[in-house]
Homo-oligomer: A and B are copies of this chain.
Amino acid sequence: MIISIKPNVSQEDIDKLISDLEKLGVKVDRSQGATQTVLGLVGDTTVINDETVRANRHVDKVIRVQEPYKRVNRIFHPCDTVLDFQCGSHKAKIGGGSFAVIAGPCSVESREQVIAIAEDVKKAGAAFLRGGAFKPRTSPYAFQGMGGAGLDILLEAKKACGLPIVTEVMEISQIELFNDVDLIQVGARNMQNFNLLKELGKTRIPILLKRGIASTMTELLMAAEYIMAGGNDKIVLCERGIRGFDNFTRNILDLAIVPMLKKKTHLPVIVDPSHATGYSWMVPAMSKAALAAGADGIMVEVHNDPEHALCDGEQSLMPNAFAEMMATLRKYAEIENKNI
């Protein structure tokens, strides 16, 4: 961390600031120029809050050389994190040369629906089954998900089809229901629900952490740091689109975060093109782009009967479109030496 001091600050005030900073456990190098003084902090500056330093009335600007995250930082943990899953004889992997495909319906609606879709996506090559039991909805009058009963259906589908399951947790009291879930999703709206993150840090179940709708890359990594600081190092990051000024897609899919995250952290990174775009017809193109950009997998919505009801979801792929997409993704994966 480099701190530039405002002009005309007395030596006494600078000494006081240096002494305050050193109490936090860092060493301070002082560079006195003709017109400006610059302090260079050496040591573990992750314990220092930028804003706190910036608030000091003698400080002009603050520049962080080290990142504020530590456990998720590739610098301190150069090897890729790889997560292994086993469900009966079916093995799955996120990271480590795998391109993991997580597929399934947006919401769990019924046992039949989930098992039928699970079989379809498994046949097409999906490695994980997704489905929402607890659903965050903008309106209190909208369907809020089947809750615990939905979770039971997913667990049944897991047993029936042998796919590990991915589903969203919304609050602390639900965590105890998630013991047999393979990958617990933290949704975009909860990315900075710090109490929830801390509790998930105490479990040893893998966490799928989605980027908040207006979260910076650093905030996403700090959210992962919360989980990892609690002792749970099984984390997958997920880009799912951010809020922008146009609305031709539901959100803006920020694919360039994929290579940047791969550089900054050892955690695997996947992409959700369904929520990012909001249109099923765009999902194949953006899934291929995600693979090309270096993602470790994708999470896509698949539904088998969009004609049956109003809640089909324009963003859900039909099983045959999903299978077709998987065929092309395999060709892409081959070029990149990844396994689907």
Contact = CB atoms under 8 A, between A and B. Distances in A.
Contacts of A138: 68, 192, 219, 222
A277 B235 CA distance: 26
Contacts of A198: 140
A217 interface: yes
A47 to B, nearest CB: 5
Given A36-B65, A259-B282, A310 B55 contact: yes
15 contacts: A2-B63, A21-B310, A31-B38, A38-B40, A55-B306, A68-B138, A138-B222, A140-B222, A144-B194, A170-B194, A189-B194, A252-B254, A289-B290, A289-B292, A291-B292
Nearest to A262: B285
A190 interface: yes
Interface stretch (A82-90, A157-165, A241-249): A241-249
Contacts of A24: 310
A156 interface: no
Contacts of A139: 46, 49, 68, 222, 225
A55 to B, nearest CB: 4
Nearest to A216: B246
B260 A256 contact: no
Nearest to A306: B57
A282 B256 contact: yes
Interface string A252-273: 1111111110000000000000
Given A34-B27, A289-B289, A310 B196 contact: no
A4 interface: yes
A205 interface: no
A294 interface: yes
Interface in A135-160: 136-142, 144
A52 interface: yes
A323 interface: no
A216 B229 CA distance: 33
A204 interface: no
A195 B187 CA distance: 13
Contact of A42 (B36, B54, B291, B311): B36
A140 to B, nearest CB: 4
Contacts of A144: 194
A262 to B, nearest CB: 9
A40 to B, nearest CB: 5
A34 B38 contact: no
A324 interface: no
Interface stretch (A91-99, A108-116, A117-125, A328-336): A328-336
Contact of A245 (B20, B35, B68, B243): B243
A26 to B, nearest CB: 11
